[in-house]
Each structure stands twice: as structure tokens, then as C-alpha cells.
Amino acid sequence: MSQPPFGQQPPTPGPGQPPPPPGYGPAHGQQPPPPAGYGQPGGQYQQGYAQQGYQPGHPQQPGQWGQAPVQPPAPKSNKALKWGAFGVAGVVALGVVGGGAVFAYSKLNGGGAQPEEALPATSVAFAKIDLDPSADQKVDAFRFARKFPGMRDSLEGVDENGDLRKEIFDAIKEDGGLEGVDYAQDVEPWLGQRFGVALLPAADGGTEPEVVVALASTDQDAAKEGLSKVTNGEGGYCSVQADFAICGEEQSVVDKAVNDAAGANLADSDTFRQDMDDLGEDGMMAGWMDASRVSELGLSTGTVQADQQGRIAAAVRFDGPTLEVAGRVNGLPAGSVPSGEGTMVGDLPADTLGVFAVTGLDESLRTAWPELDKNAKSILGDDWQEGLDSFTNETGVSVPDDIAKAVGSDTAITVGASADEPKVALVTNGDRGTIDKLTGAVDSGGTSGAPQISVKDAGDNRTVVATPAGYADEVAGGSGLGDSDAFKDAVPEADDASSVLYVDISKAVELFGDELDDEERANIEPLSALGFSMTGEDDHAEFALRLTTK
């Protein structure tokens, strides 16, 4: 049986349960046994333990080993897991540390143990990173970063072939963490290159979800010694296993995570494995989340609301001079994803500054309307319905049916390249009669000085509604965006996408760069464009966000 945590007897395992894991770091309410050399002049642990209130002496003295010290140190839960920042640093910041310092991370699909193999299948969200990049990813990452003056300054002195673990360790120490911990002595001998972070359901009937971190370990004995020093100073608890140390704020949470992973780990979960296989290459870092299980915990993260469904897998990759975030969403309600039949975006004018295009907006509006209507009534009460009735009486347009007819099944909002006046247009294959009703109502009820709206036929069953009037002519008669190099680099899958977002950053700098200071402009000018596309069918979708450079 594994040894119990310091100063604690091992619990008796239940039927069919694995024995408790070896733990390192003081258990709550317990004191560790004296390490070798304690109480002797020059003993290596003497100073550290004396600082925590442990004093050598007669067995009846307060502070004797096995008894509570006179004034035990306050728990440091707010500082716990600074050690886990090795993993979190890259996971939550796309490899950007401090004032833009970029650390190039890598593919995670190489040989050797993976963090998901050491974390339990009960995880509802997970992210992982590798600090030993493959050659192509590492070179591309540093080349991308060095295009930006601010990042070049931060990377000065960073060896792209060096030890990135030490770079992150030093950054954490500069922020005041890991005091008294020496990298060469306490970290380098055991710390591996892979890290994982998992969000777990609340333990022991609690309401707050738990977080554990998996740190790759190449030497168990060295890891136990190094992590005992870290947890003594920073708080938290770590259990060192064969390939990974599992760390968290509470011993009970860590022990449960280790025991659960021994029975069923995340890598063996059918849904997780399928989602990651569908995603393809992990890139320099990867993440996964079961949105429905996260919502069950009462959490909301950005677009993940209380009624969200599906599972999301995503990876960050470098593709030459381009940074890409690619993702896959599985397990959505059947039929909820519009098929990727392509939008009209490629037929827009070549000098378009920005555009958002989507297919199936009409049906999406009809489907979403009951919930939208319900939420609006709960907030606005009777005023909501009175406003809808008034709108219909004045315009002759019903909600949502006529609005859905107007926006159509192929819809784009475009912004023209102009520094003098806003140029905005709606391009749609919606019903022209309904569009005329809406625009006529707006014109007749307009106020003095309001922008004039122009409606133009753009051919191929498309209508342009724009302001100013001249921009409607430009959009209706222009084309060529889909053939521009900047657009093709930013949105390579545009022909099949059900939604597309595109921003010509280079053109925006030309138009509005004078409003930036010299430093801001210098750090934006290397960028070319931002592109996003999504496509899918039935119950799954794929997406890609790309940031391209010149």
C-alpha cells in the first residue's frame, strides 16, 4: 500500500476502490514528521521549518512534531497552485507572458504520457500544453512573435532553443511567487514538459467546482522533495504519481482526483477521445470542455450559458506566419447546425473593410424567438408586448415572421473602407417586398439629420440596404473580395462556411493609423487580417480563427 500523507494514517479503502495515493504537502490539521537532518546544526530543513513555528526540543514542548504549533500559519488557499502556473500560464494566455512575451509551445501528440491520462474521466473541462515544441511549431511561433516590436523586446535574451520552463519559473518569481525555491535544485531535476489543468465537479457535496493541475514528472523522488518545499511555502497539496504530480488546493480533492483517474481517466473517455480525434492535430496547446456538464455546475463562461449543449475541443497552432485557433463542436441538438453551403461574402467588393456573413439566419431567428420573447417579457413586462404591437401597427411588419423573411437565408453586414463617414450595408436574399416595408417605415419616421438609407438590387436575388446612398451602389456593383490574397489567407474555407467574419486590419491601419501613437501603430502594422469561419451539419460544427501577418 502507498504511504499516507505526512502525519496522517491512510483511510481504509472501500470495496473495489484503489488504495489512497502517496501525497506530499502537509494534510490539513496534521503536521509532517521531521525530515532528515532536522534539529541538527546545518540540517537542510532546519531554517524552513523553524520559520513555520516548528521548534526542536523536549517532546512536551509546544510545536513538537506530531502536535499543533502554538501559532499555526494561516492557510494560504489564495496562493495555492502558483506552482500550477506552469500549466496555466500557457493555457489561459496563448503563450503570452507579461508585456507580450511569447513562449512558443508545441504539438502535444508526440510519444510519452499525456496529462489526460493522469486526470479523471469526471473532468468537465481540460487544457494542456507542452513546453518542448517541435521544430516547425517553435520556429513559426518565434517568427510570428518577432514581427511585433513589443514582443521582440520581451523576447530579447530568450533562447528559442532554451529551457522555457525556466523562463516561466523566473516570471513567476518576479511576481513574488515561489519564494525560497531554487530552479536548479528544486525544479529542474524532476519537472517535465507537459502540463494539464482540469475542472472537476464539486467534491463532498460542495457547490463550487474544483481545479487540479497535472505537472509532468521525470523523477518521483526529486518531485516529492521539490514539491514539498513548494507546498510548504505556497500552500496547496500535491500527490506525486509515476509520470505526473497532481496538485490542488485541498488534499481531499487531489486524492479523489488521483483515485478516480486510477479507475477511469479522461483519455479513456469515449466522448473525449472522439472529440480530440475529430479535432486533429493538437497544435501547441489544446483544450476541451463539455458545455452541458459545465452548465450543470451553474457556471457560465462566455458563450456557455445555463442551457448550452455540446462538447468543444480546440487547438492553437502556428501555420507559417499565421496564428490559428481551430475547433470542433460535437453533441449539439440534431439539426441545430446549418449545413455549410457557403455565403455570399466572396462576391462583395474587394476593398471591403469588414464583413460578417451567415447562412440560415431566418430559420435561426424563428427557432430562437420563443426563448428571446420569454426573456424579454421577464425583463420588460407588458412594455415588451406593447412595443411589438406598436411596431407591427406602424410598419405592417410582423415579428418574427416578417423580420425572418427580410433577413433571408444568406445575409451579410459589411463595412466600407472610409475614414470620412461610416459606410454600412446589409446584403440579403430576403424578401424584397418586406424589405421595402421596413425601409419605408424607417424613412418616413426618420429625424432631421439621420443617415439616408438606400435600397439597391444587386442581382442573383440579392438586395443591398446601405447608408450612405453611394455605398449601396458600390456594394451592388462591386466584387472580388473572395479573390484577394488577404481574404484567402484569413478565411481559407470560406467557400463552404455557413458563417464568416473578416476584418482587413492592414486597411484599417491605413485609414485610422493616425489616431494611434507610434508604439501602438508599430505593433499593429505587422498584422494583415483577422478571419473566422464555421461550417458543419446536423449535430457538429468546425471553426477556425486566423490572425495573419504581412
- Total domain count for the chain? 2
pTM: 0.73
**Cβ–Cβ under 8 Å, residues 329 and 538:** no
Name which of 300-309, 333-342, 362-371, 402-411 the model is least confident about. 300-309
User: Is the confidence at residue 405, as pLDDT, over 80?
Assistant: yes
Q: How far apart are CA 325 and CA 283, in angstroms?
A: 9
| Residue at a domain's end among 330, 360, 381 | 330
Q: How many beta carbons lie within 10 A of that of residue 15, not counting itself? A: 4
Q: Of all helices (H) and strands (E), which one includes residue 368?
A: helix 361-380
Query: 399 is written with which cell numbers?
Result: 415579428
Q: How far apart are CA 36 and CA 51, in angstroms?
A: 17
Same domain, 288 and 359: no
Cβ contacts of residue 363 below 8 Å, gap of 6+? 338, 404, 409
**What's the whole-number mean pLDDT along residues 67-93?**
36
pLDDT band of residue 307 (cuts 50, 70, 90) is low
**What's the whole-number mean pLDDT along residues 228-253?**
92
Which residue type is seen at 11?
P
Same domain, 287 and 260: yes
Q: How many CA atoms lie within 13 A of 74 on its CB side?
A: 4
**Cβ–Cβ under 8 Å, residues 122 and 84:** no
**What's the whole-number mean pLDDT along residues 1-11?**
38
The predicted-structure confidence for 143-165, as pLDDT tens digits, reads as follows 888 888 887 776 766 666 667 78
Q: How far apart are CA 63 and CA 31, in angstroms?
A: 9
User: 262 lies in a domain?
Assistant: yes
Give me the DSSP letters along 260-292: HHHHSBGGG-HHHHHHHHHH---BTEEEEEEHH
User: Is the confidence at residue 176, as pLDDT, over 90?
Assistant: no
Tell me what pLDDT residue 125 has: 96
Q: For residue 30, is it left (φ>0), alpha (ψ between -120 and 50) or beta?
A: beta
Same domain, 409 and 522: yes
Q: How far apart are CA 146 and CA 106, in angstroms?
A: 17
The predicted-structure confidence for 422-474, as pLDDT tens digits, reads as follows 999 999 999 999 999 888 876 655 545 556 889 999 988 999 999 998 999 99
Same domain, 350 and 325: no
| Residue at a domain's end among 306, 330, 354 | 330
Three-state SS at 101: strand
**Cβ–Cβ under 8 Å, residues 356 and 412:** yes
Q: Tell me the helices (H) and strands (E) count for the chain, helix number first.
A: 17, 18
User: 26 lies in a domain?
Assistant: no
- Domain enclosing residue 462, as ranges: 345-549
User: 42 lies in a domain?
Assistant: no
Which is more confidently placed, 124 or 70?
124
Average pLDDT for the chain: 78
Beta strands in 81-190 (DSSP E): 96-97, 101-102, 125-130
User: 7 lies in a domain?
Assistant: no
User: 272 lies in a domain?
Assistant: yes
Same domain, 242 and 171: yes
Q: How far apart are CA 110 and CA 133, in angstroms?
A: 10
Cβ contacts of residue 38 below 8 Å, gap of 6+? 45, 46, 49, 56
Q: Which residue has the cell 500523507?
A: 5
Q: How far apart are CA 256 and CA 278, in angstroms?
A: 30
User: 33 lies in a domain?
Assistant: no
DSSP state of 432: H
Query: 482 is written with which cell numbers?
Result: 473572395
Q: Of all helices (H) and strands (E), which one includes residue 246?
A: strand 244-248
**What's the whole-number mean pLDDT along residues 109-113?**
62
Same domain, 326 and 349: no
Cβ contacts of residue 1 below 8 Å, gap of 6+? 10, 19
Same domain, 452 and 476: yes
| Residue at a domain's end among 300, 330, 360 | 330
Same domain, 141 and 241: yes
Same domain, 318 and 407: no
Same domain, 298 and 369: no
Tell me what pLDDT residue 388 has: 94
**What's the whole-number mean pLDDT along residues 203-212?**
80
Q: How far apart are CA 293 and CA 311, in angstroms?
A: 9
User: 8 lies in a domain?
Assistant: no
Q: Of all helices (H) and strands (E), which one includes residue 232?
A: helix 220-234
DSSP state of 40: S
User: 77 lies in a domain?
Assistant: no
Same domain, 289 and 391: no
Same domain, 324 and 459: no
Q: Of all helices (H) and strands (E), which one includes residue 125?
A: strand 125-130
Q: How many beta carbons lie within 10 A of that of residue 69, not counting itself? A: 15
* Backbone phi and psi for residue 490, each to the nearest 5 degrees, phi listed first: -80, -30
User: Is the confidence at residue 139, as pLDDT, over 90?
Assistant: no
Tell me what pLDDT residue 256 has: 95
Sign of CA dihedral 50, 52, 54, 55: positive
Tell me what pLDDT residue 340 has: 58
